[in-house]
Amino acid sequence: MNNLIADIDIIPGEEAQACDFKTTVDEHTGKTRKLYIESYGCAMNFADSEVVAAIMKEGGFDTTSDFYQADVIFLNTCSIREKAEQTVRKRLTDFQRAKKSKPEMTIGVLGCMAERLKEKFLEEEKIVDIVVGPDAYRDLPNLLSIAEEGQKAVNTFLSREETYADISPVRLNSNGVTAFVSIMRGCDNMCSFCVVPFTRGRERSRDPYSIVEEAKDLFSKGYKEVTLLGQNVDSYKWSPEENNKARLNRKEEDVTTVVNFANLLEMVALVDPSLRVRFSTSHPKDITDDVLYTMKKYDNICKYIHLPAQSGNSRVLEMMNRTYDREWYLERVSKIREILGEECGISSDMITGFCSETEEEHQDTLSLMDIVKFDFSYMFFYSERPGTLAAKKYPDDISLEVKKRRLSEVIKKQSASSLERNKLDLGKEQIMLVEGPSKKSEDDFKGRNSANKVVIVPAGNYSKGDYLTVKIIDCTPATLFGEVLEINPKN
Ligand code: SAM
Ligand code: SF4
């Protein structure tokens, strides 16, 4: 297996992508200066870049897709695995030529890598002018003006309150149909392998009314699907005390109740029956039956749960500090099947070769995958991250060769399960939401069914944003192919 596999996310889509990133598009609203943002890593980071773009717009910037044209280049970075950080460093060398031809250009590093390395980043990468952590984006205009005066600037302050609730994100690279909505920030879980609690700070939930307003605004602009984002959405909990009410000027009666994730899901589902609602990520220790019943109650809440298992072995899960064991995980899956049925999509994240993992324990991961039959998984081999509990407590003692071999076995298992699960859809009628033309052929449209599976249909007299009733006629492990029966009356 080659090196590339280390960072291949098996995307629930038409293709697997290596270390994917998103850039800004050309925008011409008459602003005088140009901003180019490249975003790496998870959906939370992509959502954050949209907040950054909104702050920069206020500061007089339109976005550009060409970094040579930019006055400011931002790299919104990921630290989750070593490979992600290497990619960012390599990318910085590509910006050197642009900076040479335009020395007044400012280069900023944002996000998790900025938070992890702080001032050290400026020492290590001379091309970088500003370093900004995920909770300090409001300070960007100030940091930029410091950099424009020729000084380096850093703000990596982690907040206990910041949720950017009052900022209306500027949608970047949008298909105009689906959008991410951030509902919380940070994580309090301390999984031993994970750097996120250190780079994104303490968990805090965003004001639910601002979330509903954002969903309503998106719907009024033609969006048909929102994905509510958080590292652990099931621990969403908003209470008036936790929040900075003043900033949002809520009416007294709006801020008296505690809102949990099931309540929030319902509030967003009620925005409109033709606005689909998704969410990610669910934590096996926290997902409640209440959430499952709320999903069942509303047709427009998609029947799909991303429930990362990480491992199928209880000893390894304990060392990972996941706070559930194999039996607990399987019980949660049974509950999902009992309440939402076989058709509910379930996906996972898996890590192979975690510290001291034996061959038998690896087999437990494969057997868990056999029992659950995930629709798809994001699969990684363990990458030790400095400062994490695992890095402090456990030797990273599984060789790269073994980690990669186990990963290839996990990928093979997943591919077989994905195909098996997709075959169950053959001959069925399903509703898909059209997201736009397929990347592979102009003659086809691409969309997703409720279970988050990509469905490809021949192009026809319908357009993106339409709901279609389709019959599934063929499949691969990653894709369903359908024939269109009708434009769904839900439109
Ligand atoms: N909050 C989510 C959860 O609890 O499942 C996931 C967040 S993390 C950004 C995404 C995935 O990256 C994790 O689920 C895990 O599988 C993987 N990951 C995190 N740290 C890792 C590490 N040190 N090595 C390999 N994979 C890692
Ligand atoms: Fe990382 Fe665990 Fe938090 Fe997910 S729940 S972000 S894996 S610490």
Q: Is the dihedral of CA 400, 401, 406, 407 positive or negative?
A: positive
For tokens 């309440």, the residue is 339
pTM as predicted: 0.93
> What distance in angstroms lies between residue 285's CA and the mean position of ligand 1's atoms?
15
Q: Which pLDDT band, with edges at 50, 70 and 90, does 439 fall under?
A: confident
Q: Can you tell me the distance from the alpha carbon of 120 to that of 414, in angstroms, rounded to the nearest whole number?
A: 40
Is 78 labelled as part of a ligand binding site? yes
> What distance in angstroms lies between residue 80's CA and the mean position of ligand 1's atoms?
7
Q: What is the pLDDT of residues 316-349, one digit of tens each?
A: 999 999 999 999 999 999 999 999 999 999 999 9
pLDDT cut 90: percent of the chain above it: 86
Q: What is the pLDDT of residue 111?
A: 96
Residues with CB under 6 A from ligand 2: 187, 189-191, 194, 196-197, 231-232, 283
What mean pLDDT is predicted for residues 43-60?
94
Helices in 225-301 by DSSP H: which ranges? 245-248, 261-269, 289-297
When computed from its CA atoms, the radius of gyration of the chain, rounded to whole angstroms, is: 22
Residue 245 has pLDDT above 80, yes or no: no
The residue type of 414 is: Q
Q: What is the pLDDT of residue 252?
A: 62
Q: Which ligand 1 atom sits closest to the C-alpha of 194?
A: 20
Q: What is the pLDDT of residue 26?
A: 84
Residue 437 has pLDDT above 70, yes or no: yes
Cα angle: 263, vertex 202, 250; to 5 degrees? 45
Q: What is the pLDDT of residues 63-118, one digit of tens each?
A: 999 999 999 999 999 999 999 999 999 999 999 989 999 999 999 999 999 999 99
Q: What is the pLDDT of residue 251?
A: 65
SS3 2: coil
Phi, psi dihedral angles at 420 (to 5 degrees): -60, -45
* Mean pLDDT, rounded, of the chain: 92
DSSP state of 307: -
> What distance in angstroms lies between residue 186's CA and the mean position of ligand 2's atoms?
9
* Ligand 1 pocket mutation pick from 77, 380, 388 by most atoms within 8 angstroms of CB: 380
What mean pLDDT is predicted for residues 236-251?
68
Q: Which pLDDT band, with edges at 50, 70 and 90, does 368 fall under?
A: very high
Q: Which ligand 1 atom sits closest to the C-alpha of 388?
A: 23
Token pair, residue 250, equals 């809520």
Is 302 labelled as part of a ligand binding site? no
Residue 19 CA, chain-centre distance (Å), reads 13
Q: Under 8 Å CB-to-CB from 171, ≥6 apart: which residues?
A: 50, 179
Residue 444 has pLDDT above 60, yes or no: yes
Look at ligand 1, atom 13, and give the residue with the nearest C-alpha.
349
SS3 161: coil
CATH 2.40.30.10 given to domain 178-423: no
Q: Which pLDDT band, with edges at 50, 70 and 90, does 255 fall under?
A: low
Q: Which pLDDT band, with edges at 50, 70 and 90, does 30 fall under?
A: confident
Ligand closest in space to the Cα of 193: 1
DSSP letter for each residue of 423-486: HTTTT-EEEEEEEEE-SS-TTEEEEEETTS-EEEEE--S--TT-EEEEEEEEE-SSEEEEEEEE
> What residue ranges in 112-152 does DSSP mark as E strands?
130-132
Q: What is the pLDDT of residue 249?
A: 61
> What distance in angstroms lies between residue 101's CA and the mean position of ligand 1's atoms?
39
Q: What is the pLDDT of residue 288?
A: 96
Q: Can you tell me the distance from the alpha carbon of 184 to that of 280, in angstroms, rounded to the nearest whole number?
A: 11
> What distance in angstroms lies between residue 300's CA and the mean position of ligand 1's atoms?
28
Q: What is the pLDDT of residues 269-304, one digit of tens each?
A: 999 999 999 999 999 999 999 999 999 999 999 999
Is 112 labelled as part of a ligand binding site? yes
Q: Which residues of 244-281 are buried (b: 16+ CB within 10 A; e: fewer)?
A: eeeeeebeeeebeeebbbbbbbbbbbebeebbbbbbbb
* Ligand 1 pocket mutation pick from 286, 349, 410, 411 by most atoms within 8 angstroms of CB: 349
Residue 4 has pLDDT above 60, yes or no: no
Q: What is the pLDDT of residues 480-490, one digit of tens each?
A: 999 999 987 76
Q: What is the pLDDT of residues 382-397, one digit of tens each?
A: 999 999 999 999 999 9
Q: Which pLDDT band, with edges at 50, 70 and 90, does 28 fall under?
A: confident
Q: Which ligand 1 atom sits closest to the C-alpha of 390?
A: 23
Q: Which ligand 1 atom sits closest to the C-alpha of 378?
A: 16
More confident residue, 42 or 253: 42
Q: Which pLDDT band, with edges at 50, 70 and 90, does 419 fall under?
A: very high
> What distance in angstroms lies between residue 143's CA and the mean position of ligand 2's atoms?
30
> What distance in angstroms lies between residue 44's CA and the mean position of ligand 1's atoms?
13
Q: Which ligand 2 atom sits closest to the C-alpha of 200?
A: 6
Q: Which pLDDT band, with edges at 50, 70 and 90, does 250 fall under?
A: low
Look at ligand 1, atom 7, and give the residue with the nearest C-alpha.
231
Q: Can you tell me the distance from the alpha carbon of 88 to that of 392, in angstroms, rounded to the nearest whole number?
A: 25
The fold for domain 21-155 equals: Rossmann fold (3.40.50)
3-state helix, strand and coil shares in percent for the chain, rounded to the nearest 5:
35, 25, 40
Q: Do domains 21-155 and 178-423 have the same CATH topology?
A: no
> What distance in angstroms lies between residue 171's CA and the mean position of ligand 2's atoms?
26
Residue 242 has pLDDT above 70, yes or no: no
Spans of all domains in the chain: 21-155, 178-423, 428-487
Closest alpha carbon to 368 in 425, 324, 319, 405:
324
Q: Which ligand 2 atom sits closest to the C-alpha of 194?
A: 1
Q: Which pLDDT band, with edges at 50, 70 and 90, does 247 fall under?
A: low
Residue 376 CA, chain-centre distance (Å), reads 15
Q: Which ligand 2 atom sits closest to the C-alpha of 232?
A: 5
**CA separation (Å) from 274 to 75, 223, 277?**
35, 10, 9
CATH 2.40.50.140 given to domain 428-487: yes
Residues with CB under 6 A from ligand 1: 42, 80-81, 193-194, 196, 231-232, 281, 283, 308, 310, 349, 351, 380, 382-383, 385
